[in-house]
Amino acid sequence: MSEHPYIKVEEVMSPKVYTIAAKATVREAVEMMRANGVSSLVVERRDEQDEFGMLVVADIARGVIAENASPDRVNVYEIMSKPVLTVAAEMDIRYAVRLLVRFALSRAVVIDHDRRPVGIVTLRDMVLSHDAAADTA
């Protein structure tokens, strides 16, 4: 059995977090995704007691395009996922992978000690990093 090095989520995450208000329109969300070359946006919390949401392209496909709805008349909060899974920046990627797999998710919001979003991590990011680390161990 090979021993895998400890890899923190923050070492493999994408550090850019693009956020959007829950009341923004889907058109605004699509424009933001296109402008930044991303396929997901973190939906901002209303206050400190609220949880983050996430909007991904599949939500738009399912909630707007497949329903023949207008992206100008649908708000982000109507089709987003909430609450979204969050993982600590210092978490070992093996545990983060287990969480994502357990809940059949492809990505999570990475948060710091103050629950501020500091990145997005995907299963792809972690699997490829884990495999590369195993090859060098």
Q: What is the dihedral of CA 40, 43, 44, 47, to 10 degrees?
A: -150
Tell me how many degrees the CA angle 105-108-111 measures, rounded to the nearest 5: 160
pLDDT value of residue 124: 94
Instruction: Report whether pLDDT(10) > 70.
Output: yes
pLDDT value of residue 1: 44
Superfamily of chain region 9-136: CBS-domain (3.10.580.10)
Residue with more model confidence, 113 or 4: 113
pTM for the complete prediction?
A: 0.86
Average confidence score pLDDT of the chain: 93
Q: Which residues pair with 109 in a beta bridge?
A: 86, 120
Chain segment 72-101, per-residue pLDDT in tens: 999 999 999 999 999 999 999 999 999 999
Q: What is the longest distance spanned by two Cα atoms in the chain?
A: 55
Comparing C-alpha atoms, which of 89, 87, 35, 82 is closest to residue 55? Answer: 82
pLDDT value of residue 137: 53
Q: Tell the residue number behind the tokens 């946006």, with chain if given.
A: 41
pLDDT value of residue 5: 77
Chain segment 107-134, per-residue pLDDT in tens: 999 999 999 999 999 999 999 987 766 5
**Confidence tier at 48 by pLDDT (50, 70, 90):** confident
Q: What span, in angstroms and rounded, lies between the C-alpha atoms of 123 and 129?
A: 10
- Whole-angstrom CA distances from 133 to 9, 10, 120, 136, 137 are 13, 15, 20, 5, 6
